[in-house]
Amino acid sequence: MAIFDSRFFRRYVALKGIALPHWARIALIAAINLAALVRIYSTEYGSFGNGVALLTWGFLNFFWLIVLRRPAMAAALSLILVEALIVLSRFKFEILKMTASFFDFLIVDADTVAFLLTIFPDLRMTVMVATFLAVPVLILIWRFDPFRVRLLASMTGSAVCLAGIVGLASAVPEEPWEPFQGTNHISNFARSGVLSVFELMTHGFLESDSAVADRLKLLPDATCQPAAQPPHIIILLDESSFDITAAPGIKVPPGYERHFRSFDGKARSFLVEASGGPTWYAEYNVLTGLSARSFGRFKFNVTRIAAGRVERGLPQALRRCGYKTFSLYPFYGTFLGARMFQTTTGIEHFIDLREMGVKSDLQPDHFFYDQALRLIERERGGPPLFIFVYVAVNHFPWNWTFRADLTPDWKELGNEPQVDEYIRRQTMSARDYADFLTHLRRDFLKDSFLLLRFGDHQPAISARILNPSLDDAAVKQRFMLYDPRYFSTYYAIDTINFKPVDLSSALDNLDAPYLPLVIQEAAGLPLDHTFVEQKKILERCKGLFYSCAAGAEARRFNRLLIDAGLIKGL
């Protein structure tokens, strides 16, 4: 131990003996700041974005000066933070096509870390190596920095920069479409921080009335008693699917539209809350019977926020009626807190991609149907089943041919290549669904089934083909106004050995949060007190939910659920 101490002392003395010229120390500080400015300039576009990013850089520097007083060290730590944010934001954009926001860091959880390490198993080692290399450099910078900045000057500088960020972000709020551009990582992050803090201070995560006069009429906790043996219920989330003939001039194969019709021949429209990407909005709608739009600008992280906090939903209601609940999830369960969210809503058995034994999330639909068939066979003779199945063959991108061997007789239709590929995959999907129904009829003669499938959102290509005369700015404006043309997909009901008991809620045009009502009434199940109240909203609002009365109905209903203890901590 003494030998070690003496060696350490000699090295420390040798290090203290190293002296840099005064100009070199100034150059070191200037070089660090210049590196950061170059990095900002290379990733920020427009004078506004550069201005906000520079103010953010200034705020970080002054913050570290308050803590450390050393300008070289402050600049180095700020550079590390800026570089880390840019790298993480680009990483997120590669996966979700959306840059990082302040909220991502506000709710970092174990699932987020686990998901990153699953997708990038080398990330842990990369972080350790980067840390190992950075620490000695920071020690040297600390040692060679002779300058000290007064606390008052640092506090003044940080206050000025923060005021500038808040003022600019308030004058030009971040638009919802901007994070999808893949640029302006620093300025968008700073602006999202201003908006996030403002919304948290004004209404928290969830929009709800501050108080309501009435209360939900609580029913006994006893298991519900259906009038007849209830059917197995299968909900199919049909990824990125809608009837593309809604766009003008699109050529489709004969009989294409039949896939979007129910057993009674009706074509029903499903109004969702996303377009072109976030499947989890519809996942939240369908499992909880609530609106993702109630989370305002936080809605992109709705499943992460709701996990452990929103305990009302379709699976919970079905378990009360004796159902055994399953989810066949086509990706890793740690993605956006999916496993925790779904188990909160009542899913007892969450089976993700890894548990299904595959590594790629893009599989033909028949893969997931086979998983469901094996599950039904395994549970044969037990209680009724609820199975939430995702089928994902229609998922982007469509600029390459997925499994051409599955459609050997396919002929191009004459649309643009991506549209033809999308339609080709839809024909695969329709064929696999028909085969699934055939297997259910043939292999489970004594069982009854109620099936409901729906499109979770339109594909990204729909934005430019639904109204080709509109430019990008006009389309974005339609998105901001929630133009139904860009948010309408389909839902269809099918049955095997079963006749729906009540389809009064299965309107021709239906908001996504009402789907649990349709399922329970069609199955002949008694509604619990929350769905009885939501049925009244459906009737008052004629199939609309969040859009009804400018959000007033949704805010009131959220407050009722909060007061009933079914939504907590929001």
Asked if omega into 397 is within 30° of 0 (cis), the reply is yes
Above 50 in pLDDT, residue 9? no
CA count, 13 A, side-chain hemisphere, 252: 20
CA Rg value for the chain: 28
Query: What amino acid occupies position 423?
Result: I
Above 60 in pLDDT, residue 16? no
Above 50 in pLDDT, residue 14? no
The first and second tokens of residue 505, run together, are 């809620």
Above 80 in pLDDT, residue 130? no
What's 547's DSSP letter?
A: T
8 A C-beta contact, residue 526 and residue 223: no
**Cα distances (Å, whole numbers) of residue 471 to 277, 279, 484:** 20, 25, 18
Residue 171's φ and ψ, nearest 5 degrees, are -70, -35
What is the distance of C-alpha 154 from the center of its chain?
Answer: 39
8 A C-beta contact, residue 340 and residue 310: no
| pLDDT one-digit tens code per residue, 348-385 | 999 998 888 877 668 899 999 999 999 999 999 899 99
| pLDDT one-digit tens code per residue, 245-257 | 999 999 999 999 9
Lowest mean per-residue pLDDT among 99-103, 174-178, 430-434, 524-528: 174-178
The first and second tokens of residue 305, run together, are 């926020």
> Distance (Å, rounded) from C-alpha 452 to C-alpha 231?
12
The first and second tokens of residue 367, run together, are 């893969």
Above 90 in pLDDT, residue 140? no
8 A C-beta contact, residue 302 and residue 295: yes
What is the distance of C-alpha 181 from the center of its chain?
Answer: 17
How do beta strands 449-455 and 491-496 pair? Answer: antiparallel
| pLDDT one-digit tens code per residue, 388-414 | 999 989 988 899 999 999 999 999 999
Above 60 in pLDDT, residue 62? yes
SS3 per-residue string spanning 234-261: EEEEECCCCCHHHCCCCCCCCCHHHHHC
> Distance (Å, rounded) from C-alpha 565 to C-alpha 310?
9
The first and second tokens of residue 408, run together, are 């050997």
The arithmetic mean of pLDDT across residues 508-512, rounded, is 96
The arithmetic mean of pLDDT across residues 435-460, rounded, is 95
> Distance (Å, rounded) from C-alpha 568 to C-alpha 72?
46
Per-domain residue ranges of the chain: 2-203, 238-563
Which residues are 390's β-sheet partners? 237
Q: Which residue has the tokens 């001039």?
A: 249
Confidence of residue 17 (pLDDT cuts 50, 70, 90): very low
The arithmetic mean of pLDDT across residues 149-166, rounded, is 90
Please tell me the predicted confidence (pLDDT) of residue 15: 46
Pick the more confident residue, 237 or 31. 237
The first and second tokens of residue 564, run together, are 């009933």
The arithmetic mean of pLDDT across residues 167-183, rounded, is 78
Please tell me the predicted confidence (pLDDT) of residue 148: 80
SS3 call for 215: coil
CA count, 13 A, side-chain hemisphere, 311: 10
For Cα atoms 439, 282, 118, give the angle at the middle one, nearest 5 degrees. Answer: 85
Q: 301-328 b/e with 16+ CB inside 10 Å = b?
A: bbbbbbbeebbbbbbbbbbbbebbbbbb
SS3 call for 356: helix
The first and second tokens of residue 128, run together, are 């350790």
Q: Which of 69, 68, 90, 71 is nearest to 79 (CA)?
A: 71
- For every residue of 197-212, DSSP letters joined together read HHHHHHH-SS---S--
The arithmetic mean of pLDDT across residues 35-42, rounded, is 85
8 A C-beta contact, residue 545 and residue 537: yes
Which residues are 351's β-sheet partners? 328
Q: Which of 374, 387, 383 is nearest to 327 (CA)?
A: 387
Residue 562's φ and ψ, nearest 5 degrees, are -65, -45
Query: What amino acid occupies position 544?
Result: L
Q: Which of 503, 520, 513, 502 is nearest to 541 (CA)?
A: 513
Which residues are 237's β-sheet partners? 390, 454
Of 108-117, 130-139, 170-179, 231-240, where does the model show the most confidence? 231-240
8 A C-beta contact, residue 180 and residue 98: yes
Which residues are 148's β-sheet partners? none
> Distance (Å, rounded) from C-alpha 306 to C-alpha 342?
9
SS3 call for 219: coil
CATH class of the domain defined by 238-563:
alpha beta
How do beta strands 385-391 and 449-455 pair? Answer: unpaired
Above 60 in pLDDT, residue 81? yes
Q: Which residue has the tokens 């609106």?
A: 291
Pick the more confident residue, 448 or 85. 448
8 A C-beta contact, residue 347 and residue 326: yes
pTM: 0.81
Element containing residue 385 per DSSP (H, E): strand 385-391
The first and second tokens of residue 407, run together, are 């459609």
> Distance (Å, rounded) from C-alpha 537 to C-alpha 556?
10
Q: 139-165 b/e with 16+ CB inside 10 Å = b?
A: eebeebbeeebeeeebeebbeebbebb
